[in-house]
Structure 1
Amino acid sequence: MDSLNAFANTLSLLGLGSESSVDALEKTLPGFKFLNTFFRSWFRVTLTGLFTFVALAGALSSGVNSLRDGASKIYWQTVRYITATISIAGNDRLNREVLNWLGAHILSKRSTRVLTANSEPLQSDAWSYRRVNTERNDYHHEKRIPVQYLPTFGSTWFIYARRIFMIKRIMTGSTRWHSASWGSAPEEFRGAPEGDEPLLVMCLGRSVEPIKLFLEECRNFADKQREAYITVRTSKPQYDPSWDTTILRPLRSLETVHFDEKIKQELVSDIQNYLDSNTRKFYNKRGIPYRRGFLLHGPPGTGKTSLSLALAGMFGLELYLLHVPSVREDGTLEKLFTTLPRRCIVLLEDVDAIGLRRTPAKYEDEKDEDEDDDDSDSDSESRHSNITLAGFLNVLDGVASQEGRIVLMTSNHADKLDSALVRPGRVDRMVYLGNISQRSSELMFLRMYSKDPDAPLPAGMVGMTEEELKRLALEFSQQIPQDIFTPAQLQGYLLNHRESPVEALAQVSSWVKEEMAIMEAANERARKAAEGKKRRKQKKKKKKQLEKAAKDLEGFDSDEALEELKKKMEEETEKNSKKLREKREGDKKRGQDETTVENTVEKEATEPSTEKKSKDEVVSNRIAVSNASVEGPDKEQEDKEVQTGGQTPAADSGSEEKSSENTNGIQN
């Protein structure tokens, strides 16, 4: 307050706080003189002095800011002149590789005092490799995610190859917005990086060559750490169509995937020949698109995904995994494919689950009737993807499709795929992975119980020679039925007896019987469910036909009108019969095994009558026939199943004749 008073006295000497100036302000601002007197009496300062002090302080602050901005511009101009700089985007893999190198060579060897910690699993591979060297055989420790320490915002200085380097993480997006409340605090104290911040790599000197050598060293370091792993990149297309999630899987030998050895060798030879540099030149000179596609099909649990992982590890390629039904639209799929590298393996899982098939116009009526059925199976319920066949084919071999990649598609039902999808050029080879053979079961037994130099022998294998193990494997395989069980089933059994091969051999026969009984029961349940669904569909269809026919009879009181209705129904019957014949021919061409196809409209047999029938008589006869046709055959069939303990007779001529008679009585 004394300083303000002294400042006010100084202003008075200058004439800024004199009575004349106060009187002048009183004329402009009535009441100013009273306030000035009040502040002078109570606070020993005049308003004119206070206002002048604030104005000068603001001017001084503005001058300081101007000086700071000028100094900053001079600093960055100097930095630009004496340094070379390369920036790296936040979503680039090189960004994560630089952080990986920095953490392994700088942060771990220096007493850095400002870091960021993370105990959640990262979506990048920046720190995934170093955790392998610190694993402990401790269950309590294993279930806890280790803390990871990464560089935070700000600059990190270090010396590499006798050059001074600086790496700076730059705030972007939400991080910058949240840190605004910290004012002028240093960047490293404003918040924690989220993993997608750009990097600025600077080097003292006017050449970028040292930075290029440093970035190459970061890539080589990451590649060396990845040698024992398969890099699997996945995407969450419902949120962001990008390959943003990285999973590291241990290398898997191709010997661990059990299917026909001849087909396996042909597949490996095919891919090896395709990846040869001379093959690319051959394709380019002849104008052939440099792409290769394979369809891995077979029952679930036969190793289709495992084969993809083994191939990626064998040829040292990254695996890009995409569950096709999770992709919402063609644009998302196209964006994912355009960001693929030139050499990689793309695994498209369950391509049959999205129902990519062209529907001919002549089958539209049958399709509409099927969609009305409430008892749809699980396949139809899972088809919520909006991908079109044209969009899917475009990313495989369209103008914008990437060259150099290998596409592996998996399907449990290859017969459901459209012929346009599996033609050569899109699918160059179809590989069937079926149930396990006896030879493959023998190899699986040997692999499961072979000696591992890095692990102690199980108690049941101590003292067992290699010849004895081969003998047990041969005896084991002879008790496994040919092409009945999936490799996953057999592997699960061996894992339950991994401590003793002798015990696994002794109990395999009882396991085979139990599994066969379970599979037969499952097949029986599936068969009954299919038959029940078919009966319900038939009842619903016949009921709709009868309701439609009864509705058409309303208002017809003359023989001429009835004859006209009969003629109309016969024409409709002929039309539907023609559609049915065309559908049967189409089913045969597509190789579909449909043993029974019901008639869509049964031809009604007319009874000769010269007597004029009234509307009430016609409707009464129609209702009687409807009840007999809808309830009779199906109820008798269900009663027979109950009496025979759920076993459906192979043929029941009486029921068929009765059903035929009831159906033929519709025409009246």
Structure 2
Amino acid sequence: MFRAPLPQQAQRSQTTEAGPSTASSLPADGVVSTDGAPLPPAPGASAEGDSLFNRVMADNPYFSAGAGLMGIGVVLTALRRSVTLGATFAQRRMLVTLEIPSKDRSYPWFLEWMAHQTAAQQKGKAKAPGLFGFGQGLRSHELAVETSYKQHENGASEAVFNLVPGPGTHYFKYDGSWFQVKRERDSKLMDLHSGTPWETLTLTTLSTSRNLFSNLLSEARELAEASTEGKTVVYTAWGVEWRPFGKPRRRREMGSVVLAEGQAEEIESDLKGFLGRGKWYADRGIPYRRGYLLHGPPGSGKTSFIQALAGSLNYNICLMNLSERGLTDDKLNHLLGLVPERSFVLLEDIDSAFNRRIQTSEDGYKSSVTFSGLLNALDGVASSEERIIFMTTNHFDRLDPALIRPGRVDIQALLGDAEGEQAKRLFIKFYGNTPSEIEGAVKGRIMREGEVPLSDEEVETMGNEVQAIVEDEKRQGRAVSMASLQGHFIRNGAKESIGGIRELCRPLEQQ
């Protein structure tokens, strides 16, 4: 049968009365709200886990605080990394660092400069303008002490305690810039010769100008040189380097040593002609070095003359002992190549070290320096240039001809016993009334109480008498050394000394 469709209004009424059909009106998941409205579709398993995690994170304060702390840590780590990189960049770009090892020559200069600043502050007069017109200030809380002794004119000595910056960190201001100084000591590295640990000075400043370091070290060097101005420094060999021996000695002038007429002037003139002619020697292919041999009996003034010559030319002396234990051919050659500038090398009593090439001493010790090693060090292929060597001996006949040939010894000078003219000049120097104009020369003995100074005529007459006595004794085969005469004049007055000169004379074979 065919039914006609119901009217639209009838369909709506029928639907309302009977309710929706189960298949068409229920949602797909079959969930209906209380008011009959369908709920949204339920999430899947993944959505349920995320929702649960979010609710737990939102409801748990510990998780929230931990997340916040983690975020702060990440930020701080990034910030610290940025600061480190920035500091490294600034240090490379803005900080200048200088390292001075204890083996460097400027190391003692700078320590002396710092000690000078500390001493000035202790006395309440910190150094305002330096040698270059710069102002300095030193701040140090880690100090060390250096004890020295000061000799007074009356012979008494006084201990002087100098507080110097010790190992640690120090600060000072120089030319408007602050410097940090770290004095570090490595106890694992030791100097076997001095027994002192290895040290390093590290200077750091916030400045792009490196001239500050040059100026500072130049000032330190000038300060060190000022402390030795007018003095002679004697160096000795310590292992493979030269080090000052004792305190600098007062410079001795040429007039303090009385040699035969014209002898001192001849040697000094030859040495002055050699100095400053390095280019002349180099242009002609001649090694730029000079050797002198002074020989004669003991007390003739060999060593004293070398000291006076060094003082006259503002030179220092490097004293070399060829019989020193541990000295080898290599060390000798190395030391002669590292002689400090403006220094003589002095080989005293060269005959005792190499007596006819016999190098074994009485106690059985055999020198490590060979005769051929000495010859090669003097003028071999590896020998250094710009060097002045003085040798002394009391026994010229014991020297090997190979040692004193030209090229190794350029000038030989005999400094013998006192001649009559020498004795006269020494007498006038002691008892003359004219004040000595030579710094460091023999000033004469201490005048006795009530003693009347001699007139110039009396001194001249008595000097002639001294000359006659010495010449007469020499004709009889007897002589006296200049050292004996000097000691005799110091102890006695003018008239007493004349009477005792003959007693000082000894036969020539006993000199």
* TM-score by shorter chain over 0.5: yes
- For each residue in 1:561-596, what CA deviation from the matched residue of structure 2 results, as whole angstroms up to 9, or x when unmatched? xxxxxxxxxxxxxxxxxxxxxxxxxxxxxxxxxxxx
Cross-structure match for 2:373? 391
User: Does residue 340 of structure 1 match 2:344?
Assistant: no
1:223 aligns with 225
| Structure 1 position 283, deviation (Å) | 0.6
> Does the 8 Å CA contact 1:154/1:170 hold for their aligned counterparts?
yes
Indicate the SS of the match to 2:226: helix
* Counterpart residue number, 1:296: 294
CA contact (8 A) 1:345 1:406 kept: yes
Measure how far apart 1:212 and its partner are.
0.5
Shift, 1:273, TM fit? 0.8
Alpha-carbon shift at residue 473 of structure 1 (Å): 3.0
Counterpart-to-counterpart distance in 2, 1:273 and 1:234: 27
Query: Distance in 2 between the 1:232 and 1:73 partners?
Result: 52
Q: Give the match's secondary structure for 2:490.
A: helix
- The alpha-carbon distance between structure 1 residues 171 and 522, as it changes in their structure 2 partners (threshold 3 A), is same
Instruction: Please name the residue that 2:306 is paired with.
Output: 308
Aligned partner of 2:273: which letter? N
Q: Give the aligned residue type for 1:420.
A: A
CA distance in structure 2 between the partners assigned to 1:199 and 1:84 by the alignment = 14
**Other structure's SS at 1:261 match:** coil
- Letter matched to residue 107 of structure 2: N
Partner of 1:443: 425
* Amino acid of the structure 1 residue aligned with 2:145: A
SS at match of 1:334: helix
Q: Is the 8 A contact 2:479 2:508 kept in 1?
A: no
Higher relative CO (Cα under 8 Å, sequence separation at least 6) belongs to 2
Question: For residue 164 of structure 1, what is the aligned residue in structure 2?
Answer: 178
- State which drifts further: 305-314 or 337-346: 337-346
Residue 282 of structure 2 is matched in structure 1 by 284
Matched-pair contact (CA < 8 Å) for 1:330–1:388: yes
- Count of aligned pairs between the two proteins: 398
Do the aligned partners of 1:230 and 1:250 also contact (CA within 8 Å) in 2?
Answer: yes
Distance 1:509 1:307, change over 3 A: same
Separation in 1 of the partners of 2:396 and 2:507? 24
Q: Secondary structure at the match of 2:498?
A: helix
Q: Deviations over 1:19-65 (max 9, x none)?
A: xxxxxxxxxxxxxxxxxxxxxxxxxxxxxxxxxxxxxxxxxxxxxxx
Q: CA deviation at 1:120?
A: 6.1
Whole-angstrom CA distance in 1 between matches of 2:364 and 2:260? 32
Deviation at 1:219, TM superposition (A): 1.5
Query: TM-score, normalising length from structure 1?
Result: 0.54
1:72 CA displacement:
9.1
For residue 485 of structure 2, what is the aligned residue in structure 1? 490
State which structure, 1 or 2, has the greater radius of gyration over its C-alpha atoms: 2
Q: Does 1:136 align with 2:164?
A: no
2:406 equivalent among 424, 442, 455: 424
Among 201, 208, 211, the alignment partner of 2:210 is 208
- Secondary structure at 1:252 match in 2: coil
Displacement of 1:162 after TM fit? 2.6
SS in 2 for 1:400: coil
- Is the Cα contact below 8 Å between 1:354 and 1:383 reproduced in 2? no
Match of 1:154 in 2: 168
Once the two structures are superposed, what CA deviation does each residue of 1:213-254 show, in whole Å capped at 9, x if it has no partner? 111112122222322200110125xxx232134331111011
Question: Mapping of 1:77-88 within 5 angstroms?
Answer: 78-88=90-100
Contact 1:343 1:404 in 2 (8 A): no
In 2 relative to 1, CA 448–175 (structure 1 residues): closer, same or farther, beyond 3 Å? farther
Of 79, 103, 122, the match for 2:115: 103
Measured against aligned partners, the alpha-carbon deviations of 1:374-418 in whole angstroms (never above 9, x if no partner) come to: xxxxx8669732321210011111122111110001111122111
2:321 paired with 1:320: no
Normalising to structure 2: TM-score of the pair?
0.69
**Residue 509 (structure 1) shift:** 2.5
CA distance in 2, matches of 1:465, 1:70: 90
Tell me whether 1:265 sits opposite 2:254 in the alignment.
Answer: no
Q: What letter matches 1:315 in structure 2?
A: L
Q: 1:414 aligns with which of 396, 399, 414?
A: 396
C-alpha distance in structure 2 between counterparts of 1:414 and 1:337, whole Å: 24
CA deviation string 1:57-109 (max 9, x = no partner): xxxxxxxxxx9999999867654542223222213332112222222234422
Q: Tell me if the contact between 2:118 and 2:164 (Cα under 8 Å) persists in the aligned partners.
A: no
Give the Cα–Cα distance (whole angstroms) in 2 for the partners of residues 382 and 471 of structure 1: 55
Q: Secondary structure at the match of 1:325?
A: coil
Q: Which has the higher strand share?
A: 2
1:357–1:173 Cα change, 3 Å: farther
1:562 is aligned to: none
Q: Measure, in 1, the Cα distance between the counterparts of 2:180 and 2:188.
A: 24
Q: Which amino acid aligns with 1:250?
A: R
Q: Secondary structure at the match of 1:447?
A: helix
Give the alignment partner of residue 505 of structure 1, picking from 482, 495, 499. 495
1:264-298 deviations in Å (ceiling 9; x for gaps): 1111111101112xx21111111111111111111
* Cα displacement string for residues 361-386 of structure 1 (whole angstroms, at most 9, x for unaligned residues): xxxxxxxxxx9xxxxxxx86697323
Aligned match of 1:16: none
State the SS of the aligned residue for 2:402.
coil
Are 1:469 and 2:469 counterparts? no
